[in-house]
Amino acid sequence: MTELTDEQRDAVTAPAPFTLYACPGAGKTHVIQARHLADPPALLRGGRALLSFTQVASEEIRSRCVTAGRPDMVNHPHFVGTLDGFLWQFLVRPYLPSGTEWRRLDSWARLPAAKTSIRIGSDVIDLNEVPFTLDHHGRETIRFDIAATSVIQKIGDDADVRREWQRRALRVRNGLRGQGYLTGHDVRQLARRYLQTRPDDVLPPVRSRFREVVVDEAQDCSRTDLFLLDALHGAGVPLILVADPDQAIYAWRDADPTSLQQLSAKLGPPMRLTRNHRSSPVICSLAATLRSGGRPADTAAGPHAAEGTPVVILPTTFSTSRRGLGQDQPQHTTSERPITEVFTELAAQESIAPADCVITAERRADLPGGSSRSWTSENPATLLARAWRTVRAPHASAAALQEAARAAAYRLTAYWYPTTKDSLETISTRHRLPLRTALRHGYALLHHLPAPTSTWTAQVNTAVQAWPAPADATPNSRTGLLRGEPTVPRPSPAGLGTLGVRIDNVHQLKGSEADAVLLLLPSNDAVRRWRHGDAAHDGTLRNWYVAVTRARRLLGVAVPDVLTHDLQVLLSAAGTPHRVHLGEPVGLW
């Protein structure tokens, strides 16, 4: 998609401030780029800040500008980067006390557990597990309502006990802050403090440099983020928020659609992108049943606008486990076959290859072979092998790609600077190696490496030793090289790894798409929730909305057999074409 539609052109030329509500597949990144590149070379005080939530998303905008022959649009006076980076560079770092080596971390998990442990008696909780937030008065509190189940089990629900955990968590955090460590939450707290106590210092440089600040994926902003953006707006900095509130799926990060709506109202009448260049009309029709406000379905306008493949309802048994294969696989009720096999065969009837199929669910535990493993729970060799596979996945999320690059970048820096075991951010700061540069090296290394095998470690170490190093690198023999062997996945049952089907939870699919998507809904309450829930207040419905809008051509919904009829009734009432698949494929419908 290169030409602008009328809706897109209006969004490119409209004066700030405003909110741009963009439906899935609306080409919002194309619009942001077009708006940015429409400017002539910027004057000294005519910059624009383009803010995303991941380095990968920022790199995409940077790459588009360079490819378009406008590298000037990524340099001063412009800023193309993350919201965290913007807050740090312009609202916090210049005003921090001198005499301390300040180090910004994306997570307390980047520090050794011994530094971040919170203890009461024999119970231990890691600081990284504590979801801090700021209330409307700027006071720090712990959001116990969004804390992990394992944390709540240790803390319990006694108010006095929770206050004691909060007091001790703040003591540990304050100790680390005294050593110069800051996470994104700390940066936001300090930004809020400086905006309130030093506005005459903080605001003039921002107003002077930027004539516009554009925040992409604004529905993911926390309440604190929105407070800070509101303060910039109130100080006269023109804002553009690009958002789809129905895709606000990060409530556990304190994202708040209501606060977004309140800020949006201050920016004046919103603009909308309602033409979906990704999905078929059938998929647009089903998606409309999941979102808030009762708005009509978006207009299918892309290459699949004339297609009408019905939604496939797959009656499914979710309690069956395929013992001996190492996978927990939901079964198609009538054929008693793995649901993944059945769906990929249905996709094949539409000439969709398994590699362009996605199986998803809200929780990782509900997926075939589901688990809750994190990047940090694997040994270094297995973690790097996982990173290798991630960068080759056809639709890996921006967050997953960034974690993959980080794993490889850390392996390189651990070899280059063997005297430190600090986080990648700390190594980057100490050796003046820009984090963006380190991540680029990580991406390049992963693409250079061969496929993981049982003898992969030696190949990795050879590549690391030969990799071009910074001038101040001081590698020391084999210190920092990879040890151990990666766990190479065993061949999976048909329909899983052997077919190349992507299987991931909804949060990892954000920003990606596929020709065929199967959403697993194992709860017996799913259809009732779908029919009577309000996505404005129900994050689960928004998760389902994100899942179904990843699909371009074919959408499947797997539900317990007892819900099949109810889902048919719901979709019939919405006028969404659908069919129930009861047996073996018998050809196209």
Query: What ranges in 289-377 are assigned the alpha helix state H?
Result: 339-349
CA distance 54 to 456: 30
Q: How far is CA 325 from CA 321, 422, 492, 493, 558, in A?
A: 9, 39, 7, 7, 22
- Which element (helix H / strand E) includes 569? helix 564-574
- pLDDT at 83 exceeding the cut of 80: yes
Q: Dihedral of CA 177/183/187/190: which sign?
A: negative
What is the length of the chain? Answer: 589
pLDDT band at 207 (very low <50, low <70, confident <90, very high): very high
% of residues, the chain, pLDDT over 70: 90
Residue 104: which of 411, 427, 549, 582 has the closest Cα?
A: 427
What is the predicted pLDDT for the residue at 499?
Answer: 52
What is the predicted pLDDT for the residue at 526?
Answer: 96
Mean pLDDT on 474-502: 64
Mean pLDDT on 93-100: 94
Mean pLDDT on 183-203: 94
Are the beta carbons of 482 and 384 closer than 8 angstroms? yes
Q: Is 121 left (phi over 0), alpha (psi -120 to 50) or beta?
A: left
What is the predicted pLDDT for the residue at 547?
Answer: 96
- pLDDT at 425 exceeding the cut of 60: yes
Residue 98, SS3? coil
pLDDT band at 561 (very low <50, low <70, confident <90, very high): very high
CA 201 distance to own-chain centroid = 33
- Which element (helix H / strand E) includes 450? none
DSSP characters for 221-285? -BHHHHHHHHHHHHTT--EEEEE-GGG---GGGTB-HHHHHHHHHHT-S-EEE-EESSS-HHHHH
Question: Could you identify the residue written with the tokens 């604004």?
Answer: 218
Query: What ranges in 156-198 are assigned the alpha helix state H?
Result: 159-178, 184-197
pLDDT band at 584 (very low <50, low <70, confident <90, very high): low
pTM equals 0.76
Task: Give binding residues for ATP as ranges.
Answer: 22-29
Are the beta carbons of 526 and 488 closer than 8 angstroms? no
- pLDDT at 539 exceeding the cut of 50: yes
What is the predicted pLDDT for the residue at 585?
Answer: 47
Arithmetic mean of pLDDT over the chain:
86
pLDDT band at 524 (very low <50, low <70, confident <90, very high): very high
- pLDDT at 432 exceeding the cut of 70: yes
What is the predicted pLDDT for the residue at 84?
Answer: 92
- pLDDT at 253 exceeding the cut of 80: no
3-state SS, 462-498, equals HHHHHCCCCCCCCCCCCCCCCCCCCCCCCCCCCCCHH
Mean pLDDT on 346-353: 94
Mean pLDDT on 255-268: 88
Task: Give binding residues as ranges.
Answer: 22-29
What is the predicted pLDDT for the residue at 374?
Answer: 45
- pLDDT at 103 exceeding the cut of 50: yes
Higher pLDDT, 271 or 493: 271
What is the predicted pLDDT for the residue at 252?
Answer: 53
DSSP characters for 315-336? EEE-S--BTTTTB---EETTTT
pLDDT band at 217 (very low <50, low <70, confident <90, very high): very high
pLDDT band at 393 (very low <50, low <70, confident <90, very high): low
**DSSP character at residue 2:** -
Name every residue whose Cβ is closer than 8 Å to that of residue 509 and which is 6 or more positions away in sequence: 358, 360, 395, 397, 546, 547, 550
* 141: its two tokens: 């509190």
CA distance 428 to 1: 38
What is the predicted pLDDT for the residue at 365?
Answer: 78
CA distance 428 to 144: 33
What is the predicted pLDDT for the residue at 282?
Answer: 98
What is the predicted pLDDT for the residue at 323?
Answer: 37
Q: What would you report as the CA-atom Rg of the chain, rounded to the nearest whole angstrom?
A: 25
Mean pLDDT on 446-456: 84
